Amino acid sequence: MVQSYIPDKNEFSFSISNIFPKHMVNSRGDIKPFDPDKMIASLNKETGLDWEECIKVIRDSLKRITLLGLDTIQTSMLREIMCLELTAKGYHKERNIYAKLINSTVIKFRLDDNFIDKYRGTQPNWGPLGYITYKRTYARLTDSETRTEEFFETARRVVEGVFSIQKEHCFKLSLPWNPEKAQKSAQRMFEKMWDFKFLPPGRGLWMMGTEFIDKHGSMALNNCGFASTADIATKKSKAFEWLMDALMLGVGVGFDTKGAGKITIQKPKDEHFVFEIPDSREGWVQALRHLITAYFDGDVMPIYDFTKIRKKGTPIRGFGGVASGPEPLQEMLDSQKEILDARIGKTLTSVDIVDMMNLIGKCVVAGNVRRSAEIALGDVDDEAYVTCKQDQTALYHHRWASNNSIIGKRGMDYSKIVESIAKNGEPGIIYLENAQAYSRMGYEPDFKDKKAVGVNPCGEQTLESFELCCLVETFPSRHDSYEEFEETLKYAYLYAKSVTLVNTHWNETNAVMGKNRRIGTSQTGIIDAFARHGRHEVLNWCDKGYKYLRAQDEKYSDFFCVPQSIKITTVKPSGTVSLLPGVSPGIHYPHAEHYIRRIRISKESTLIDILREANYPIEQDAYSENSMVIEFPVKEENFLRGKEHTSLWEQISNAIDYQHYWSDNQVSITVTFRKDEVKDIPFALSFAEDKIKGISLLPLSEHGYQQAPYEEITQEEFEKRKKQLKPIKTWTTAEKGAGTVYCDGDSCHVVEESNVLKEFEVIVGESIPSITKVEDNSFGFVIKEGKIVEIGMANKKIDNLPESIAQVEGLRILNLKNTGINALPLSITQLKNIEILNLEETNLGILPENIKVWISELERKGKKVLLK
């Protein structure tokens, strides 16, 4: 969609005359003045059509309207007339969006205002960081755009979105719909959310009930998906396109390397055509398709015209954020071309597939101002795949974009991967044969998922190719009895099942999701529930709850006239959603019983003053002059033990039990281990391999950072800090929530564009201190006004720099004296603000021509360049 603009007062606008209707009336009977100017604005907002084109559509629509001679006109009639004009002018996509909005507006479900009034001006029972996390992450701007939602408004939007989906589905299929019964059920769902008995995933809190879903379908409501390259010979670029499209909608995606060796790269034809890239998600995906097709089919290579793409800094509608400009897309296309040029006449390798997918992920991170979660699945015997992250240059450039796992097999030799796991936690292991054969483990195999080929990035959902998954979270520790928990399961299930009733914009995805109707009803705060109710009792709840959900699925699948869900339960890692009620994430142990939780926020946030007034400790961020660090004292209400005091074996036992009693999809678990437990890893994996479907392991380590996110404290210190606090006032702000991505688990969120310092720390093997000035022998970095301006690596033995150095656009001083560095990344030439470059006592050989030109230009401008 092209970028729209709002005309100034001197531009043409309509004025209402006597020949037009005087009033218009909507489906609720509300009467408003007839206003063509607002019709233009509405069409522009809802379809994204250029403002000038909207004027033309409305002008010709008014000609039809005047012929009716009406004094009052219904808004539905107005929209029908505008749809006719859109069709007549060839705007079929915009017409379909507008027509869909007509239907959804008429059918929309609404909670009773008298019911909602009981919650206005009140707050739920938040966890210690609940309200702050909610306002910073999930609260959308209200229609007035002068403030963000309060939780009763978010819960209302979500519940109304769920029941609107159900109502539209029933109307579309001419199925029975009982308004009174629906109202009663919707109110109970609202109450369950308000009391934190269950919550939608973060994506649901952010997107459910929004106009975006009415326009674009359900893809943005789903957490994660998977795209296989196994049929690359016939489906060609499809997996790469699907992954890019999904990532741009915030969906985390898994992929495999099964396409390796199945397609020979061809030389593109010696012809060209100009492709003017549309300024849209679809346009970027289409640009990628043209390039890959040129090499997969020996087709024509396009000459790309980037002029329509919005300039850097332009606001983006929909998910929010600002445009990056065309540079990330251009860099991605250039990098893809470089890979494919090198493979002409040869088959595509597993590492080529990883690189192509990772380059897409890197592009999305920079291009859409959001994180990009990918998981790659490869063969444990594919040494090139298993070791591909050892190429430091490629790792820093793009291979950080995926967590790499292997497809494990029973009886495999784990000694091949233990050393790597002990070092950095990779690879994870997915037992695909178990996922294909079993629902809950420990029962007879049912092979319901015999067509499954992979998992989502957090590993809790078994998936077929091009399949998406919708998750929902329940909190067993916040229930007093099984009967109460069972009632909660009904409404959590209804949320997830309702999402499966909405199509996406991909035919392949609709086909597999329509058949499988897969959902993931999850539990979060499992360790808290063990502490409160006892392990045996909670596992009993799991078994009874699973059977209850199966009965509910049979009942409601019949009601909606859709297939029963192939699988219905899971354990997701959780993360920010678990902070709202204040429970431990997923099946993981908390940090400690009493601890300080630190969060970083912008210095400019209005939240600072509210928290300062409530006596929360606030101090300057040691790593950024533009951020402040806020300390929250936390006590785990239902505490069993902390993660540092829990053995590897106990954590694996929890996963085994939940895979048996609860999850017919998978259990997402990251097992943490101490150094003395490394020797146990191969034995533990051999023991668990026929009882679980997937596992990740991560070494516990000392971080050594100032202002660490978690710091254990005594009960006395906690009580002292808590006593000083005052209640937090309602945060009335227009600061937009950040939205959410993927499974909301910390383990799913991979390296971001801004983490350049972390990449440097990997190279030097230690944390880099914040200092006040970089001098001749300095080691550290300097931040001014929230930007890194100086980096000193003097006397540190390093071989290279990360490609991401180019992202430090404000860098003025770079000191690499006596580092032994032997090459500079080509991206360094993008640094335009360098004042001092120290390359003394390095091992640099002959520099590439473009780096020579860059250095010469620095010297010509009078900048200080010190060479060996």
DSSP string, 546-579: HHHHHHHHHHHHHHHT-PPPS--B-B----HHHH
**Closest-CA residue to 550 (of 501, 486, 471, 473):** 486
The Cα-based distances of 566 to 448, 518, 520 in angstroms read 7, 6, 10
Cα–Cα dist 737/131, whole Å? 12
Residue with tokens 């379809």, as numbered in its chain: 47
Among 85, 241, 331, 460, the one annotated catalytic: 460
For every residue of 449-474, DSSP letters joined together read TTT--EE-TTS--EE-TTEEEEEEEE
- Position of tokens 């233009």? 40
Q: Which residue has the tokens 């230009």?
A: 857
CA distance 665 to 432: 11
On the 0-12 / 13-18 / 19+ scale of CB atoms within 10 A, 645 is: exposed
* Among 83, 170, 224, 458, the one annotated catalytic: 458
Token pair belonging to 312: 């850097």
User: Tokens standing for 275?
Assistant: 């492709």
Q: Identify whether the C-beta of residue 196 lies closer than 8 Å to the C-beta of residue 580.
A: yes
| 170 in catalytic set | no
Concatenated DSSP letters of 46-90: HH---HHHHHHHHHHHHHHHHHHT-SEEEHHHHHHHHHHHHHHTT
CB 358 within 8 A of CB 335: no
Instruction: Please report, as a single letter, which amino acid is at residue 35.
Output: D
Instruction: Give the number of other CB atoms < 10 A from CB of residue 586.
Output: 31
H/E run at residue 846: none
561 among known catalytic residues = no
Query: For residue 293, what are the CA distances in angstroms to 263, 287, 336, 375, 466?
Result: 12, 10, 12, 24, 19
Relative to beta strand 670-673, strand 694-699 is: parallel
CB 262 within 8 A of CB 250: no
Task: Report how far residue 602's alpha carbon sits from residue 628's, in angstroms, rounded to the nearest whole number.
Answer: 6
Cα 488 from Cα 490, distance rounded (Å): 5
DSSP state of 139: P
In 3D, which of 382, 395, 328 has the Cα closest to residue 360? Answer: 328
Q: How far is CA 584 from CA 337, 521, 575, 590, 865, in A?
A: 45, 17, 8, 6, 52
Is residue 301 within 8 Å of residue 329, measured between CB atoms?
no
Q: Is 99 exposed, middle or buried (0-12, 13-18, 19+ CB in 10 A)?
A: middle
Active site residues: 458, 460
